[in-house]
Amino acid sequence: MRMSKGVEWTVHCCTLLAALPEGTNMPAARLAEFHAVPAPYLTKHLQALARAGILDSDSGPRGGFRLARPAPEITVLEVVEAIDGREPAFTCTEIRRRGPAGGLAASEYRKPCGIHALMDSADEAWRSELAATSIGDLALYVAATASPKAIGRAAAWFQQISVRESKTS
């Protein structure tokens, strides 16, 4: 069972966007540069986040992506589901209705299959954990724990691209 790479990329992107001054648009190419991931794939994932109402985007020279809502109001689960979907990890094919013991009327299967119910409750435990943490929480955690040198480098990069972008616009 695997989450897709896009989850790692986009949660990092949202966390970075939460740390930027309000109203900052960050082009997909810059987000890709900062995280050293391929821009075309990242752009597709960012667009999925925009469709899910997590990001807003503007086009034009000052355009780019920004969080559509305050970071404390965006859960990590929302980002995960925008990329990997909402379907539970377990697909029940109602095996119990098949084979020599199956084939009965639908009314005989009103109680949920115990295996299906257990898998759903495990899925629920997983989603609850991701729903209990917001992008705002992650940004605070990074601010509190990341290497000050790394934060310094991130700030230098941000100032440098801001200068570059204001020169070209």
Residues in contact with a copy of itself by CB under 8 A are 1-5, 7-9, 11-12, 15, 33-37, 76, 84, 87, 89-93, 95-96, 98-104, 108-109, 111, 114-115, 118-119, 121-123, 125-130, 133, 138, 141-142, 145-147, 149-151, 153-154, 156-157
Q: Taking the complex as a whole, how short is the minimal distance between the CB of residue 119 and a copy of itself, in angstroms?
A: 7
Name which of 60 and 114 has its Cβ closer to a copy of itself.
114
Q: Taking the complex as a whole, how short is the minimal distance between the CB of residue 159 and a copy of itself, in angstroms?
A: 11
Name which of 50 and 119 has its Cβ closer to a copy of itself.
119
Residues 16, 5: Cα–Cα separation, whole Å: 17
Residues 17, 25: Cα–Cα separation, whole Å: 8
Name which of 111 and 167 has its Cβ closer to a copy of itself.
111
CA 120 to chain centre: 21
Residues 4, 29: Cα–Cα separation, whole Å: 20
Q: Which of 64, 76, 56 is nearest to 15 (CA)?
A: 76
Q: Taking the complex as a whole, how short is the minimal distance between the CB of residue 17 and a copy of itself, in angstroms?
A: 14
Name which of 59 and 93 has its Cβ closer to a copy of itself.
93
Name which of 60 and 129 has its Cβ closer to a copy of itself.
129
Q: Are 52 and 76 in contact (CB under 8 A)?
A: no
Q: Taking the complex as a whole, how short is the minimal distance between the CB of residue 84 and a copy of itself, in angstroms?
A: 5
Residues with Cβ within 8 Å of 122's Cβ and at least 6 positions away in sequence, in order, are 89, 90
Q: Are 70 and 134 in contact (CB under 8 A)?
A: no
